Structure 1
Amino acid sequence: MALSIAGFDPSGGAGILADIKTFSALGVYGAGVITALTAQNVRRVSGVMAVPPEFVAEQIDLVMEDLNIVHAKTGMLYSEEIVLTVAEKIRKYDLQVVVDPVMVAASGGSLSAGGFSDALRDHLLPEALIATPNVAEAERLSGVPIRTVDDAVRAAGVLGEICDVIITGGHLGGNNVLCIDGDVSVLEGELVESRNTHGSGCSFSAATTAYLEMGLELADALRKAGDFVREAIRYGHHGTLNQFWMYGEQVSAEDLHD
C-alpha cells in the first residue's frame, strides 16, 4: 500500500485521483490525504481552496493509525503551512517519500501560494527519498534558469545537494536528468506526440512510489515509472492519461512488473 498527499482535481486527470488510479493500475492499494480542492479541467484552473493544515495533519494521523504505510508521495501542497505540517508528519512516521513539487498546472493556473517554494526547498526536500520536478519547478527550486539539458544538469547538481532528484524531460526533448547520491546523469528518452499529458507528472511520481513499494531499487522504479507514463500518454484521451485502459488492454501485468 502507498499514500498520496495531494490536491483534488475534479476532472480526474491529475492530483490525488490520478495518483490513486496509478497505484491501482500497478496493483498497489492507495490511501489519500487531500490538501486542497481545486476547480479545474484540462484547460484551466478557476479556483483553489486549501484544506486547513490541522485537518491535513488529522487525516495523516488517522490513516497512519490504521494502515501500515511505508511509501508515500506528495503532490500539490499549496501553502507554506501545509508544507511544514506534512514535513513534520513525514518525520514522525518515518515515511519514504517521493516529492512531486507541484506549483503550476499544465494549463498555467497557479497551484501554490507565496513562500511555497522556499518552504518546500528548506523543509520538505530534505525529507525526500527523491524529488520529481519538471523544468519550471526545478528552475524555481534551484534558482538556475533552464533552457538546455546542460542547464538542467546544473540545476540537478544544485538540488542534488538537498536530496536525490530527477528533472523530468517533457521540455527537454524527452530526456530526464537524474541526480542520485550526487552523481548526475542524462537519461535519454523520447517524446510521444500527444496532447494527453494532463496529470503526467502526478502519474510519474505515483508510479515511482508504487514500484518502490513493490521492492524495486530507486533507479529501476524511475525507469519503470517512465515506461508506464509514456504508454499512458500514448493511449490516453481527452487531453489526459488513461492508466486503466492502458494497463488492461495495451500492456500486460508482466510488462509492467517485470
Structure 2
Amino acid sequence: MNQITTALTIAGTDPTGGAGIQADLKTFQEREVYGMSVVTSIVAQNTLGVDAIYNLPVSFIEKQLHAVFNDIEPDAVKTGMIATIEMMEMLADFLKDKSVDYVIDPVMVAKSGHALMEEPSRKVIRDMLVPLATVVTPNIPEAEILVDFKIDNIDDAKRAAKVIVNELGAKAAVVKGGHLSGEAIDVLYDKQDFHYYKSARTETKHTHGTGCTFSAVITAELAKGKSIAKAVTIGKKFITDAIQYSLGVGKGNGPTNHWGYRLKGLPNQVKGREE
C-alpha cells in the first residue's frame, strides 16, 4: 500500500467556505493530500466582510496540535490566521523542533479590508515564525509590513523577497504581485535564484480566499516532496484557474473555484444545479 501524504493547516475559519481552514482542506483534497486542521480563531465572516472574531484559548490550540502530531504527523504544515502574540509564541515553540516543511500565509487583512490580526502581532510574526518557514507567501500589503518599506514595482518586490529570506530567515519567499499595476507577476526568491510567475489578469471580484488556496497548494506539493520552485509553479497555475473559472456565489467578493483546473475548454462560469 502506498504511503498517504498528509498536510496540516493551522488557521481561522470561514463559515461560507471560501477562505481559511475550509479553503485549505478543499485545496488539500483537490491536490490528493490527506488534510488535517487546527483551528486558531472562529471568524463570523462571509463574502461581504468580517462581523466578529473569537480567538480560541492558546492552551486549547496547543491541545489540538498535540492531538494531530501524536497520531498522524503531517508531511507539511501551513499557517494562516494567527491572531495574537501568545498564539505565535506557542506555535514557534511547538514547531521549532519539527522536521516538516512549513508554509506561512501571513494573513493580516481580509479581502474586504477588515483587520484580522492585532497590530503588535504583525511586527512579532517576522521574528518568531518567519525564521522557521520553508516558504512565506505575502501579498504586497503583507510584504510591506514584514519588510517595513513601500513596494511599488517588481524591483521592490525582489528586494522584499530577499529581505524576508536573507534577513528574516525564511528559506524562500513568494511576493505576490496582484496589488501592483500592470502584469500580475509573483516573485519567488529561494536564496539562490529569482523565479517569476506571470498570469493574465481576470476581471472578477470573486477572489476571496486566493491567498489561502495558493499557499495550501504549495503546502500540499511540498508534502509530496516537490521542490519549492515546482510547488510554487503548481500553486500559481492552480490559483489562476481557480480565479478564471469563477463560481459566482456570494453577494460580495466571492470565493475562488477549487475545481477550476478541471474546467478547461468550458465557459468561464460554473452552471447551477440541474433541475
TM score, norm. by length of structure 2: 0.87
- Mapped to 2, the partners of 1:118 and 1:54 lie a distance apart of 23
For residue 48 of structure 2, the aligned residue among 40, 43, 52 is 43
Match of 1:122 in 2: 127
SS in 1 for 2:205: coil
- The 5 A counterparts of 1:163-242 are 163=170, 164-172=172-180, 173-237=183-247, 238=249, 239-242=254-257
Is the Cα–Cα contact under 8 Å of residues 36 and 78 in structure 1 kept in the other structure?
yes
- Mapped to 1, the partners of 2:93 and 2:201 lie a distance apart of 37
Is the Cα–Cα contact under 8 Å of residues 175 and 190 in structure 1 kept in the other structure?
no
- Mapped to 2, the partners of 1:120 and 1:160 lie a distance apart of 14
- The 5 A counterparts of 1:55-204 are 55-161=60-166, 162-163=169-170, 164-172=172-180, 173-204=183-214
Aligned residues: 250
Q: Which has the larger radius of gyration?
A: 2
SS in 2 for 1:101: coil
For residue 54 of structure 1, the aligned residue among 29, 50, 59 is 59
Is the Cα–Cα contact under 8 Å of residues 199 and 240 in structure 2 kept in the other structure?
no
SS in 1 for 2:12: strand
Is the Cα–Cα contact under 8 Å of residues 156 and 184 in structure 1 kept in the other structure?
no
Deviations 1:50-90 (A, max 9, x none): 11111111100101111031201000011111111111111
What amino acid sits opposite 2:69 in the alignment? M
- Mapped to 2, the partners of 1:126 and 1:51 lie a distance apart of 25
SS in 2 for 1:5: strand
- Residue 11 (structure 1) shift: 1.2
- Mapped to 1, the partners of 2:26 and 2:164 lie a distance apart of 29
Deviations 1:139-172 (A, max 9, x none): 0000110122222122112112121100112113
Deviations 1:100-152 (A, max 9, x none): 00000000011001321222100100000010000000000001101222221
What amino acid sits opposite 1:84 in the alignment? E
For residue 32 of structure 1, the aligned residue among 27, 37, 40 is 37
- Mapped to 1, the partners of 2:68 and 2:129 lie a distance apart of 20
Moved more, 4-13 or 113-122: 113-122
Is the Cα–Cα contact under 8 Å of residues 162 and 191 in structure 2 kept in the other structure?
no
What amino acid sits opposite 1:174 in the alignment? A
Q: Which runs of 4+ in 1 moved over 6 A?
A: none
Is the Cα–Cα contact under 8 Å of residues 235 and 242 in structure 1 kept in the other structure?
yes
- Mapped to 2, the partners of 1:185 and 1:227 lie a distance apart of 14
- 5+ residue gaps, structure 1, are 252-258
Moved more, 68-77 or 85-94: 85-94
Moved more, 176-185 or 149-158: 176-185
- Mapped to 1, the partners of 2:263 and 2:155 lie a distance apart of 38
- Mapped to 2, the partners of 1:27 and 1:130 lie a distance apart of 21
Is the Cα–Cα contact under 8 Å of residues 79 and 114 in structure 1 kept in the other structure?
no
